[in-house]
Amino acid sequence: MKRIVAVTACPTGVAHTIMAAEALKQVGASMGHSVTVETQGAQGARDVLSPEAIAAADAVIIASDIHIDPSRFVGKPIHAVSTGDAIRKTKAVIEAALAESGEPEEAAPPPADAIPHPPIAEAQSVSIVGVTSCPTGIAHTFMAAEALRKAATELGYAVKIETQGSVGAKNVLAPEDIAQADAVVIAADAFVDASRFVGKPLYETTTKAALHDARQVIETALAAPPKTAASSEAAPAEAASGAPRKKASAGPGPYRHLMTGVSYMLPVVVAGGLLIALAFALGGIYVGDQKGTLGWALMQIGGATAFKLYIPVLAGFIAYSIAERPGIAPGLVGGMLAATEGAGFLGGIVAGFLAGYLTRWLNGAIRLPKNLEGLKPVLILPFLSTLVVGLLLVFVIGPPVKAILTALTDWLAGMHQASALIFGLILGGMMAVDMGGPVNKAAYTFGVGLLASNVYAPMAAVMAGGMTPPLALGLAATLFPKRFSPEEHEASKAAMVLGLAFITEGAIPFAARDPFRVIPCAVLGSAVTGALSMVYGVTLMVPHGGAFVLLIPGAVTHVAAYAAAIAIGTAVTVLALYVAKRRIPVAA
């Protein structure tokens, strides 16, 4: 039996987070392994892994769609995947994680007696530099760097390791560092350009080797021959010949950066939306004019503060995901400018990506003496990035984005029933296409973003469309048990509860088993629900909560019509499933 610890996380911290955790626990137990899982999300961390559990673990799995700090797992084999892979390919994920704990497949290093060990008195004069990198640029990159630093320190050597990770190169090696180095280590599972190390003893290995025996890797590097200019030309020659070679990863990509921003934004939107709904329930539609009342105070907290803050939070944490802490200041300022200039959530998204990528580029482009490097993250990068992002938002990006958002808002506010029907069909259908994946999240982010522009109908269509698939599949499995497996029938009650809570991912187990029948039926029902919600003119002031939001006065308009839209869409999917799904033969 192997001991595995895992962390699961998604932007909301609810559906994919919990489903990935349960999948890892159940499949791990069926394979005879002990799996302990910590869940992270908008509500914080739960079942936090203890230092003792981490120390005793044979492997670590990080199943996440947002940024997770891996620093506490130093020295442990880590396998990083998305929550979707952890849910759908659980056994393969566990097997891959356990494979990481095996010994690295490396050519045998030189015998110990062939490796020179400098005398203790000379140890402090030895300098080691290195570069670590992995395809995802998250876990192995930083773990290998930390292992090399620790081993070099124990040997009494000076050390500097550059990490080429998900937020770009950090702790970049200066020409002076390389010139003073006695040896170079490249521990990478992705392509790293080694041309700058010509003339230095160089040892290239994997991140796994550095994690398992960093001391041996360093000693092997000290015994390695100097790198020649001819060898540095090998990579370009390989590329010209068409031979395959590994390419450095560009990081997790825009989708994960956007989802990181959304995960930090959601609590602000939820709190603000509920406070606004409560204010309307207490003081009516003109509660904002009733100064000094409780309803007015709630409107000040929710509408005048929380709803004005969520665009800066979205932009700030998109930038943070890309450039780490130096990106937060320009991201927040850019998001606030987007909000005040009328560019809305579209401007906030643009500001977040602009601030993040600009800060990351400046971090690599600006070279300072060692004693001034500390000024970059706290002074130089925030100042320059904020200046550039602010000027671009005010003079270049803000005006056209504001015009686009204004046109979109005006069109949504004044569209006829035919337009509302088509728009609702699209939004509702998108919610069921991949049930929590990128298409689903795109529709959801669009609906949430419009809340700040006082456009509430799309959010209602989005939530209704997201509730329909798990509700319908759970109901269909209950009504037509012969068309579903025993496992699906057992999961039906949980799916209906998840549907009521607006957790579309509750339909994933059904879709994964029979995607070509289930997904089209789910899309059909969700599209009908979204279209009816828009045609009925239903508005929703909060971005989550499912059927439970119906109990909050003022949160939803036309409550009966909204419930009818969800019921009709659910019935459409149930009937479609009855036609599309075949009876499962009973075993003899």
Per-residue confidence band for 588, with pLDDT thresholds at 50, 70 and 90 = very low
* pLDDT for residue 107: 38
Residue 572 pLDDT exceeds 90: yes
* pLDDT for residue 203: 93
Alpha helices (runs of H) in 31-158, residue ranges in sequence order: 51-56, 83-88, 90-100, 139-155
Of 76-80, 96-100, 395-399, the range with the highest mean pLDDT is 395-399
Residue 120 pLDDT exceeds 50: no
Tell me, rounded to whole angstroms, the distance of Cα 565 from its chain centroid.
Answer: 32
Per-residue confidence band for 99, with pLDDT thresholds at 50, 70 and 90 = confident
Nearby residues of 237 by Cβ (< 8 Å), 6 or more positions away:
none
Pairing of β 127-133 and β 3-9:
unpaired
* pLDDT for residue 183: 93
How confident is the model over 326-333, as a mean pLDDT? 94
Give CA angle at 467 (463, 470), nearest 5°.
Answer: 155
Of 96-100, 111-115, 260-264, the range with the highest mean pLDDT is 96-100
DSSP state of 174: P
Per-residue confidence band for 88, with pLDDT thresholds at 50, 70 and 90 = confident
What does the CA dihedral 110, 113, 114, 118 come to, rounded to 10 degrees?
120
* pLDDT for residue 42: 59
How confident is the model over 114-137, as a mean pLDDT? 62
Global pTM? Answer: 0.54
How confident is the model over 445-464, as a mean pLDDT? 88
Residue 402 pLDDT exceeds 50: yes
Residue 564 pLDDT exceeds 90: yes
Per-residue confidence band for 4, with pLDDT thresholds at 50, 70 and 90 = very high
- From the CA atom positions of the chain, what is the Rg in Å? 27
Residue 230 pLDDT exceeds 50: no
- For the chain, the average pLDDT equals 82
Instruction: Note if 134 is an active site residue.
Output: yes
DSSP character string of 240-260: HHT---------S-HHHHHHH
How confident is the model over 309-326, as a mean pLDDT? 90
How confident is the model over 495-506, as a mean pLDDT? 84
How confident is the model over 200-216, as a mean pLDDT? 86
- In this predicted model, which residue has the larger pLDDT, 35 or 233? 35
Q: Which domains, ranges and CATH numbers included, belong to the chain?
A: 2-100 (3.40.50.2300), 127-227 (3.40.50.2300), 253-407 (no CATH), 415-580 (no CATH)
What pLDDT digit, counting tens, does each position of 141-180 carry?
777 888 899 889 888 899 999 987 655 678 889 888 999 9
* pLDDT for residue 165: 61
* pLDDT for residue 550: 84
> Residue 505: which of 75, 87, 182, 24 has the closest Cα?
87
Of 419-423, 466-470, 485-489, the range with the highest mean pLDDT is 466-470
Per-residue confidence band for 252, with pLDDT thresholds at 50, 70 and 90 = very low
What pLDDT digit, counting tens, does each position of 275-295 carry?
887 887 787 767 778 888 998
Residue 114 pLDDT exceeds 80: no
How confident is the model over 170-192, as a mean pLDDT? 86
Return the residue matching tokens 């050597």. Answer: 157
Give the percent of the chain with pLDDT over 70.
Answer: 86
- Of 134, 287, 309, 420, which is the active-site residue? 134
- The two structure tokens encoding residue 477: 């499995």
CA dist., res. 298 & res. 306, Å (int):
11
Residue 134 pLDDT exceeds 90: no
